[in-house]
Amino acid sequence: MEDRIVRFIAALRASGVRVSVAESQDAWRAIEALGVGDRERFRLSLRATLVKDADALPTFEELFPLYFGRGTPPLLDPQAELTPEQQQMLREALQELMQQIAADLQKLLDWLLNGGGPTQQDLEDLSAQAGLDDFPSMSPAAARRAARRMQRLLGWDQLGDLLDQLWEALAEAGMDPETIEALQGQVAENQARLEEQLGDFAGQTLRDNAVEDAPRHKPLNDLMDRPFGSLSPADMDVLREQVRRLAARLRSRAALRQKRGARGKLDPKATLRANLRYSGVPFEIHYRQRRLKPKIVALLDVSTSMRPVAEFFLRLLYELQDQVQKTRSFAYIDHLEEVTPDLLTARIDEAVIAVLTRLPPGHYNTDLGASLRQFEARHLDAVDHRTTVIVLGDGRNNFNDPAADTLGRVSRRARKLIWMNPEYPAQWGTGDSDMPVYAPLCSDVYQVRNLAQLADAIDRILV
């Protein structure tokens, strides 16, 4: 049991759930307190101590039955309710049948009709034969495939015919139809349970293998330099985590920098209070803390050309909104829509999907100029002298009017206007790109193709 819990924790870690040593210790103490007698209690005590993130709960629920069973009952013994004569009939019919078939199939038939079920050794032999160790993935689909392979090795496919033969033989031998029917029901139930056992075993074996093979750390530095568009889903997960960390770190760094930075005005109240202990002689001078309250307005291009990176930028905005309270986000293609509420209310994945489906990509329909004018007409109040405006887009405008004067007015009103473009600077100005028109109006223009560049750019926004 202990070994199993340790392996379960390892599997959780391999699936990306953070479990610290302290937490696994808590799990042991919780199990001590509640015991392992009640399966449900046991599950809850592991869950409360090991999983600290609502997002990780499904992973836990998926893994738990693989390691501690679904609580599937053992196979039934179909012969329990038979009279001695009927048992004799069954045995004879079986013996006759057994002589014609392969050893594996004999074993299977034996399990189903005698209710024994496979031993751990049986299962391990079977998985070795099925080559489970060489399975490349540990996804549920792969586990199903592996279980299927184990079933085939047992001769599962011939089972139907074989059982039909058996029932016929029993009927000929003079067993009454009701008993045969009851037997059939129980064997079918056993079949289902055995299938489930095999499935669990296959899933668990694949997990264990994956844990052994799992590389300890993903090569992050490599990821930092790869363009957003060329990332696999697994890479995306790592990146998402990085963005979250990045945002949190940037915030504390900004706070630190502000603390160390230039001091503000004298704070008479705090000074008086601090110097009461020196009977009012001002030894300690306190200054009014300048609170850094950055405001951000972000305009995100989600058109076809930007789709590969749009999801990523949306996640960035989501995190940014988490960190900087006064952030307003807008998305545009041919028109502009505020997406702040989407990003505020929903959880991150839902929010991203919601925004991307609300603004479906069209065919050559980007109109940044119109979107900018719309922004000026409706949302200009969002921009004031404390606001940093960030435009995330490639500036490809389908030869529409770029509305540079509008962007100029926004820029003059804001503290800073920053443009982040995923394209290489060499591509700016080619084709329908209006970057050369926009660039002079911005305080800063960055090429943001990968995480390293992004970190660099954000760092400068919060200053």
Partner 1 sequence: MFETVQEVRAALAAQKYIATDEIATVLFLAEKLGKPLLAEGPAGVGKTELSKAWSAVTGRELVRLQCYEGLDESKALYEWEYAKQMLYTQLLRDKLADLLSGAGSLSAAADRLAQEEDVFFSDRFLLPRPLLRAINSDAPTVLLIDEIDRADAEFEAFLLEVLSDFQVSIPEIGTIVAKQQPVVFLTSNNTRELSEALKRRCLYLYIDYPTLDEELQIVQLKVPDLAPQLARQAVETVQMLRQLDLKKNPSVSETLDWARALVTLNASTLDPDVLDNTLTVLLKYEADVERARRMLSRQQGGNGHGRPYR
Where on the chain is the footprint of partner 1 (CB under 8 A)?
18, 20, 22-23, 26, 29-30, 33-34, 40-41, 44-45, 47-49, 51-54, 57, 244, 248, 251-252, 255, 273, 276-277, 279, 322-323, 325, 341, 345, 347
Q: Annotate 240-251 with b (16+ C-beta within 10 A) or e (fewer).
A: bebbbebbeebb
Task: Return the number of the residue (1 or 33) whose C-beta is nearest partner 1.
Answer: 33
Residues 6+ apart with CB under 8 A from 108: 154, 155, 156, 159
Shortest distance (Å) from residue 93 CB to partner 1:
48
Residue 322 CB, shortest distance to partner 1, in Å, is 5
Compute how many other C-beta atoms are within 10 angstroms of the C-beta atom of residue 94.
18
Answer whether 305's CB lies under 8 Å from 296's CB: no
Shortest reach from residue 277's CB to partner 1, in Å: 8
* Upper half-sphere CA count for residue 39 (Cβ side, 13 Å): 9
CB of 200 to partner 1, least distance (A): 23
Question: Smallest distance, Å, CB 147 to partner 1?
Answer: 30
Q: Which is nearer to partner 1, 57 or 234 (CB)?
A: 57
126's tokens:
């079977």
Least distance from C-beta 34 to partner 1, angstroms?
A: 7
Q: How far is the CB of 15 from partner 1 (least distance, A)?
A: 17
Asked if 27 and 49 count as a contact pair (C-beta separation under 8 A), the reply is yes
Is residue 111 within 8 Å of 119, Cβ to Cβ? Answer: no
- Distance, in Å, from the CA atom of 147 to the CA atom of 145, rounded to the nearest integer, reads 5
Shortest Å, Cβ 273 to partner 1: 6
**φ, ψ dihedrals at 243, nearest 5°:** -60, -40
Find residue 392's DSSP bridge partners.
300, 420
Strand partners, 396: 433
| Residue among 51 and 143 whose Cβ is closer to partner 1 | 51
Q: Whose Cβ is closer to partner 1: residue 33's or residue 103's?
A: 33
Question: H/E element holding 296?
Answer: strand 295-301
Nearer to partner 1 among residue 49 and residue 303 (C-beta): 49
CA dist., res. 249 & res. 244, Å (int): 9
Q: Which is nearer to partner 1, 25 or 88 (CB)?
A: 25
Per the CB < 8 A criterion, the answer to whether 35 and 41 are in contact is: yes
Tell me how far apart the alpha carbons of residues 416 and 386 are, in angstroms, rounded to a whole number.
8
Name the strand (E) or helix (H) holding 329.
strand 326-332
Query: Rounded to the nearest whole angstrom, what is the least distance from the CB of residue 48 to partner 1 in the complex?
Result: 4
* Helices marked H in 392-434: 404-413
Phi and psi torsions of 16, nearest 5°: 95, 10
Question: What's the Cα-to-Cα distance from 141 to each of 146, 197, 419, rounded to whole Å?
Answer: 9, 16, 43
- Nearest-approach distance from CB 45 to partner 1, in angstroms: 6
Comparing CB distances to partner 1, the nearer of 38 and 164 is: 38
- In angstroms, what is the minimal distance from the CB of 313 to partner 1? 19
Beta bridge partners of 330: 299, 338
Which of 201, 198, 199, 193 lies closest to 115 in space, CA to CA?
A: 193
Identity of the residue, 23 or 189, whose beta carbon is nearer to partner 1 in the bound complex: 23
How would you list the strands of the sheet with 444-447, edge to edge? 336-338, 326-332, 295-301, 387-392, 416-421, 444-447
When the beta carbons of 154 and 239 are compared against partner 1, the nearer one is: 239
| 47 or 416: CB nearest partner 1 | 47
Query: Nearer Cβ to partner 1, position 20 or 100?
Result: 20
